[in-house]
């Protein structure tokens, strides 16, 4: 993610000036692990573009403020906004869980320590909040870097992709358009030139990945965005269908208020049960959600899905007979 955040330089430099430590380009370069020229340009930007009233003291060989009331923009944030920033950074670091985790932890630790000086709390926000994921597939950091590079530069990717259904791998050349982290697992939304269509690739199933070198023109967002938003879950098919579920009065106490999809319709029935209707395009993922609620949920529609759930439950019963 780069040696340091651009903003961190200003936060640190501002804090040093206010402590009358007379920072200069050399001390900024050492603190932020950048070159002396980069540090000097940062100070010039701070003075010229952010209107910092910096004055150089030849005796102390460093800078001070001619106006002690000056505040850089980030320090004009309210306490609530600063706290929200710290919490968001911490949650993002935990949610990344893999290729970005170490870099984001570094950012949280360094940027958070500086911002925390302006938040009147007794504990460190980055130590107070966390985010946990289970059953996710970790991603190799080098692979993530390759794919991110191709995505940001609109270059073709070639890789071997493993299909657990076929228990085999195929070589794909794709146009990467979007990376999304779903339940802790990274997915690549790309146009597959082999299949001539949009596909969702799990990064954990990709191997032998390399940049093909050729650039491509990104396709309109309207072509791939529906794969992420139109129906329930991450598994997608071209056609969607409504699924109607009925939860028992007991289970409804937990389900009530949950959002399975932005377009869902939740209806509370007189006996205390809850009827949930939502758009779905793939049986597999919704079946997993249904089965985990056991006897506390009924599939009302469609009949085809109702039968599949019933058959799966019968197989589970046979497998668990003593």
Query: What does the alpha-carbon distance between residue 164 and residue 176 come to, in Å, rounded to a whole number?
Result: 22
Beta-carbon contacts of 282 under 8 Å, excluding residues fewer than 6 positions away, are 231, 233, 235, 236, 237
pLDDT along the chain (322 residues), means of 10: 58 87 92 86 87 91 89 59 62 57 59 54 60 72 86 93 90 94 86 93 92 89 86 78 94 89 92 94 90 94 94 90 74
Per-residue confidence (pLDDT) for residue 1, from 0 to 100? 36
Per-residue confidence (pLDDT) for residue 234, from 0 to 100? 77
Per-residue confidence (pLDDT) for residue 231, from 0 to 100? 79
Per-residue confidence (pLDDT) for residue 142, from 0 to 100? 82
Per-residue confidence (pLDDT) for residue 86, from 0 to 100? 61
Closest CA to 226 of 184, 198, 201: 198
- Name the token pair of 197: 């269509």
Per-residue confidence (pLDDT) for residue 96, from 0 to 100? 54
Closest CA to 130 of 104, 152, 154, 110: 104
Query: Which H/E stretch holds residue 322?
Result: none
- What pTM was computed for the model? 0.61
Q: Do residues 266 and 252 lie in contact, with contact meaning Cβ atoms separated by under 8 Å?
A: no
Per-residue confidence (pLDDT) for residue 286, from 0 to 100? 92
């Amino acid at each position: 993610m780069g040696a340091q955040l651009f903003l961190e330089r200003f936060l640190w430099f501002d804090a040093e000036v206010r402590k009358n430590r007379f920072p200069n380009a050399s001390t900024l370069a050492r603190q932020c692990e950048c070159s002396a020229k980069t540090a000097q340009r940062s100070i010039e930007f701070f003075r010229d573009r952010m209107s910092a009233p910096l004055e150089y003291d030849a005796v102390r060989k460093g800078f001070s403020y001619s106006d002690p009331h000056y505040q850089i923009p980030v320090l004009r944030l309210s306490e609530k906004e600063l706290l929200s920033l710290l919490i968001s950074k911490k949650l993002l670091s935990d949610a990344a869980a893999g290729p970005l985790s170490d870099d984001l932890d570094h950012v949280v630790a360094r940027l958070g320590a500086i911002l925390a000086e302006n938040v009147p709390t007794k504990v460190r926000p980055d130590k107070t909040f966390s985010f946990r994921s289970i059953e996710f597939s970790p991603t190799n950091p080098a692979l993530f870097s390759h794919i991110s590079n191709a995505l940001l530069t609109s270059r073709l990717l070639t890789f071997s992709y493993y299909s657990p259904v076929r228990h085999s791998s195929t070589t794909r050349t794709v146009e990467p358009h979007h990376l999304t982290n779903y339940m802790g697992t990274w997915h690549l939304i790309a146009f597959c030139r082999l299949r001539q269509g949009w596909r969702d690739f799990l990064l954990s199933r990709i191997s032998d990945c390399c940049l093909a070198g050729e650039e491509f023109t990104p396709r309109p967002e309207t072509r791939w965005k529906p794969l992420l938003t139109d129906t329930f879950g991450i598994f997608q098919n071209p056609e969607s269908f409504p699924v109607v579920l009925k939860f028992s009065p007991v289970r409804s106490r937990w389900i009530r208020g949950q959002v399975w999809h932005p377009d869902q319709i939740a209806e509370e029935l007189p006996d205390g049960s809850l009827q949930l209707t939502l758009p779905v395009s793939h049986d597999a993922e919704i079946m997993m959600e249904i089965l985990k609620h056991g006897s506390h949920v009924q599939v009302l529609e469609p009949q085809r899905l109702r039968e599949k759930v019933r058959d799966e439950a019968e197989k589970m019963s046979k497998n668990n007979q003593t």
